[in-house]
Amino acid sequence: MNAELQTEIPENSDLDREDKMNESGKYTDTYYQETEERLAEVEEAVLDIEQNPHDKEGVNRLFRAMHTIKGSGAMCGFDDIAAFTHHVENVLEKVRRGVIPVTKELTDIILASRDQIKIMLEAAYGKDVVTDAEHSACITAALKNLLAESWQGKTIDPPLSEDKEQSRTYRIQFRPDKGIFGTGTDPTFLLAELAELGECSLDGHKHTIPELKDFEPEHCYLYWNIILTTEKNMNTIRDVFIFVEDNCELRIDVIGEQANWDIETDIGKEHKKIGEILVERGDISSEELRNALKTQKRVGEILVENDTVDKDTVHSALIEQRHVRKISKKQQETVSIRVATDKLDTLVNLVGELVITQARMSQIVSSLDNTELANPIEELELLTVELRDCALNMRMVPIGTSFGKFRRLVRDLSADLDKNIELITEGAETELDKTIIDRLSDPLVHLIRNSIDHGIHTPEERKDMGKPRVGKIHLSATHRGANVEIIVRDDGMGIDAELVFAQALEKGLVSEDAELSRAEIFSLLFTPGFSTAKEVSDISGRGVGLDVVRREIDSLGGTIRISSEVGRGTAFVLSMPLTLAIIDGLLVGVGPERFVLPLSMIEECAELTPEQIAKTRGRNMTPIRGELIPFIRLRDIFTMSGTNPSIEQIVIVKVDNLRVGIVADEIVGNLQTVIKPLDRLYRDAEGISGATIMGDGTVALIADIPELIRCAKD
């Protein structure tokens, strides 16, 4: 069937095509987005099969993605893409059948084809790229060449392709012999093994266990009904019981296939119940229906009363029903729709406004002492919080979506540099705001390039150093409280702190007598214009990189630090907020004005007394816990009027291992708040990253602490 699918090239009459082009405008966007996703899948799958040439599922995924690109390309009027992809698909079809083996040559061509399709797609979408027809012809020729070789029967491998088993639900009835314990088998282990195969509902039957006087401790009385939904086949399930087969009664039946639980069929089955119809027609009230239903007995109860079955059996059937329901519900959950990001942004903004308005209402009601109003307002508050979380959640996507591109980067770059490097990713399912993921992409590319270029040596050099020939880069993402920690770690040469210090000294970035910790020395690498690479390469090492990375991370409200050991490797640790729309902050006051300081940077709060100020002698430094801390007065830096109170509040923040005090008149308290961008006129205001509207309607400015420190330094 697939052979048929892949050989047809859609041919359209001119008239036909014109119609399609007219109509296709609205499909173009969808095709573009979809194909971009498919291309990412292609990339991922190629890299998968390159690592494991026997990965049937990878080859199938690859084939399906290309097939979709071709099919919908032809449908939406992208005939050149369809025609080009057709050649790729032909080759992949042979790979599926094991006629063409998975080789480096093949994966190179497929990746080149992918890139070519991407360029064609962007050109068709009106982006500023030019398709190179010659290059395209080259790839096509190479693809045809692969096909020609396969026809000569050069390579015949055992067939690769076999479609993945469809997910099925099995009912397993397992009744071990009484003496099973005697063989040293505890059924627990078998049941645990089954649970590993898929979604499993266990139902143990214990009604045959006798009273103590008749109880034989070494007999197994229990038996089980198990409902298992899995992609594995019957034989795999039987294999679990292979060592007890002679010591048990075992029956395995298929009770459902995935396709049986399509939403449509499920909906089709849901006929209205007679009671519902009667209520709808106004013949009875819903109250009357409820009362009538209360007296009605469930089938299970009736059967138990008749002694037709025992309670245990009914319970077991209920478990089966629940399992099937749960699975079909899960399948419904995977249904998704595509929503434009700007619509989502509007939603998040509106919800933000709602949160603010609701906070104002709550404040007003609390001063009114009106209990009648207080209850619904409280409910409104709960609903708003839920709505806010829900809206923000919609923007969350797993970071793994961007991991694929890094694998390609590592593959291509390490090949260019004759290095052998493997990228290991972890925590792909960790979710972050889409905007953050998009904007993190460039910094991460830079860090990974950095590791490939400077961190990891060639296989020969590594061997001489007693390291494995293959270098490793770990890219991981994990949740840490309200943040996500992303780590790029290589097992390369590491960074020499002394060398960094010496270079910083040479460039006049530090004074000779400066006493810096290792972390502080490493953070010098983020200073603009700093580069320790002895020669500039076209990959990285132009000395403009890490400071740009840091600035981008800062602007996203994140932090970055380096840890490294010479000879062992280097790790860049990024800590990012989950979302840009909400901030956990500390509200402080200067005169009538309110400022929000991001809680993630705050270490502690203290008082600044007149005695301490007297000791500073106008230097804006004060000792806190034995360390001399420089401080910035918000009133001074924003040139606000008013006089400082006798006792001021100092909030100690930590930025790049530097502890700085931010001085305000008073500390108001913690606040979780929605960030609103500033008007265009104020967007360039230094030291302010946004604003928020408080419950009483006043505006509080959100302080951009790294920026404030930079301003103060200048």
Partner 1 sequence: MDTEIIKNEKDGFALLSIIGSFSIYEATRLRDEFIRCFDAHKGLILDLGEVSECDTAGVQLLCSARRTAQNEGKGFVIEKPSKSVINAVTSIGLDSGEVLEIQRLSREALFATPPEG
Q: Which residues bind partner 1 (CB under 8 A)?
A: 181, 186-188, 191-192, 201-204, 206, 209-213, 215, 217-218, 220-222, 224, 226
Rounded to a whole number of angstroms, the minimum distance from the CB of residue 188 to partner 1 is: 5
Q: How far is the CB of 295 from partner 1 (least distance, A)?
A: 27
Q: Are 588 and 597 in contact (CB under 8 A)?
A: yes
Both tokens assigned to 241: 């019981």
Token representation of residue 649: 């509040």
Structure tokens at 384: 């708003």
Name the residue with tokens 């059948």: 97
**For residue 90, which of 17, 127, 139, 21 has the smallest C-alpha distance?**
139
Min. distance of Cβ 228 from partner 1 in angstroms?
12
Cβ-based nearer residue to partner 1, 215 or 682 = 215
The answer to whether the beta carbons of residues 562 and 522 sit under 8 Å apart is yes
Smallest separation (angstroms) from partner 1 to the CB of 310: 14
Task: State in angstroms the smallest separation of the CB of 312 from partner 1.
Answer: 11
Which is closer to partner 1, CB of 203 or CB of 552?
203
Which value, in Å, is the radius of gyration of the alpha carbons in the chain?
Answer: 33
Nearer to partner 1, 112 or 202 (CB): 202
CB of 649 to partner 1, least distance (A): 46
Nearer to partner 1, 176 or 585 (CB): 176
Looking at beta carbons only, is 191 or 509 nearer to partner 1?
191
| Rounded-to-integer distance, Cα 647 and Cα 650, Å | 10
Within 8 A by CB and 6+ apart from 462, the residues are: 456, 468, 469, 471
State how far the alpha carbon of 246 is from the alpha carbons of 204, 218, 234, 241, 243, in Å.
21, 18, 18, 9, 8
* Nearest residue (CB) to partner 1, 177 versus 584: 177
C-beta separation of 460 from 550 below 8 A: no
Spatial separation of the C-alpha atoms in residues 704 and 634, rounded to whole Å: 12
Whichever of 190 and 629 has its CB closer to partner 1, that residue is 190
User: Least Å distance between CB 196 and partner 1?
Assistant: 12
Assigned token pair, 704: 């951009």
Of 73, 86, 65, the C-alpha closest to 143 is 86
**Smallest distance, Å, CB 194 to partner 1?**
10
Buried b vs exposed e over 196-220: b needs ≥16 C-beta within 10 Å?
Answer: ebbebbbbebeeeeeeeeeeeeebb
Neighbours of 302 (CB within 10 A): 12
Q: Are strands 471-480 and 559-565 parallel, antiparallel or unpaired?
A: unpaired
Alpha helices in 451-537 (DSSP H): 459-464, 497-506, 518-523
DSSP string, 243-292: TTGGGEEEEEEEEEEGGGG-HHHHHHH-PPPHHHHHHHTTSS-HHHHHHH
204 or 468: whose CB is closer to partner 1? 204
- Which two three-digit tokens encode residue 87? 């050649």
Nearer to partner 1, 171 or 474 (CB): 171
Q: Smallest distance from the beta carbon of 82 to partner 1, in angstroms?
A: 53
Q: How far is the CB of 220 from partner 1 (least distance, A)?
A: 7
Considering beta carbons, is residue 311 or 469 the nearer one to partner 1? 311
Which residue, 206 or 713, has its beta carbon nearer to partner 1? 206
- Minimum CB distance to partner 1 smaller for 219 or for 405: 219
CB of 202 to partner 1, least distance (A): 3
| Residues forming beta bridges with residue 630, ordered by sequence position | 621
Any bridge partners for residue 489, and if so which? Answer: 474, 571
Distance of closest approach, residue 303 Cβ to partner 1, in angstroms? 21
Closest CA to 92 of 2, 193, 174, 32: 2
- Strands 658-664 and 627-633 come out as parallel
Backbone angles phi, psi at 124, to 5 degrees: -65, -30
Q: Which residues pair with 86 in a beta bridge?
A: none
